[in-house]
Amino acid sequence: MKPLFVFLAAGALLAVPSPARTEWAAPKAPAIPQADGYVEIPGAAVPPVKTRVYKAVYDATRAAGAPDQLLPALNMAGSELNALAAAGVPLKNAKFVVVFHGGSLDGIQDEAHYKARFGVSNPNLPVLEAMSKAGVQLFVCGQNLAFEKIDPKTLTPVVKVASDALIVLMAYQNDGYALLSF
Q: What pLDDT, in 10s, does the model give residues 22-66?
A: 899 999 999 999 999 999 999 999 999 999 999 999 999 999 999
- Sign for the CA dihedral angle at 18, 20, 23, 28 comes to negative
Q: How many helices (H) and strands (E) does the chain have?
A: 6, 5
Q: Quickly state the pLDDT bin for 1 (edges 50, 70, 90).
A: very low
Question: Residue 5 pLDDT more than 50?
Answer: no
Alpha-carbon distance of 165 to 179, in angstroms, equals 13
Element housing 89 (H / E): none
Written as one letter, the residue type at 48 is P
Question: Residue 6 pLDDT more than 70?
Answer: no
Can you give the residue ranges of every domain in the chain? 51-172+174-178
Whether CATH 3.40.50.300 fits 51-172+174-178:
no
pTM: 0.88
pLDDT digits (tens, 9 = 90+) for 104-115: 999 999 999 999
Alpha-carbon distance of 130 to 125, in angstroms, equals 9
Question: Residue 156 pLDDT more than 60?
Answer: yes
Question: Residue 16 pLDDT more than 80?
Answer: no
Helix intervals (H) in the chain: 2-15, 72-86, 111-118, 124-133, 142-148, 165-174
Higher pLDDT, 130 or 8: 130
Burial zone of 69 (CB within 10 Å; 0-12 exposed, 13-18 middle, 19+ buried): middle
Which pLDDT belongs to residue 20?
Answer: 85
Mean pLDDT across the chain: 93
Across the range 144-155, mean pLDDT stands at 98
pLDDT digits (tens, 9 = 90+) for 159-180: 999 999 999 999 999 999 999 9
